[in-house]
Structure 1
């Protein structure tokens, strides 16, 4: 049995939960999310 988990949905879920818990960090969370997606895209990890 192989378990294949995509990184992008996990990052999105984590960012959403963090925004719900600490709304004041919204700008930082969005910035980190976008940077992470950009790096993953450059490295060839799926979108």
Structure 2
């Protein structure tokens, strides 16, 4: 299981509680973009030699 699919699953789980369809979709998009950003940040830090 990759880190991305793990994040994908946890985002889906944490947004499931939202009854509103649009709200759930927005929650999902925010969680996924946040996750993608943190993955890119870690990658960047590795390239720089900090991480």
Question: TM-score, normalised to structure 1's length?
Answer: 0.49
Which structure's relative contact order is higher, taking Cα pairs within 8 Å and 6+ residues apart? Answer: 1
Question: TM-score, normalised to structure 2's length?
Answer: 0.46
